[in-house]
Amino acid sequence: MHVFADGACEPNPGPGGWGVAVYHDGVEIASDHGGAAETTNNRMELTGLLKGIEAAKALGAPATLWCDSQYAVKGATSWMFSWKKRGWKKPGNEELKNIELWQAIDAALAGVDQVAIEWCRGHSGIVGNERADELSNLGMASLARRHVASPDVTVTERDETADYLTAQCRQIMEG
What residues are labeled active site? 6-7, 45, 68, 123, 133
Cβ-contact 155, 35 below 8 angstroms: yes
The C-alpha atoms of residue 96 and residue 116 are separated, in whole angstroms, by 24
| 3-state SS assignment for residue 122 | coil
| Contact call for residues 54 and 108 (beta carbons, < 8 A) | yes
Q: How far apart are the first and last CA of the chain?
A: 13
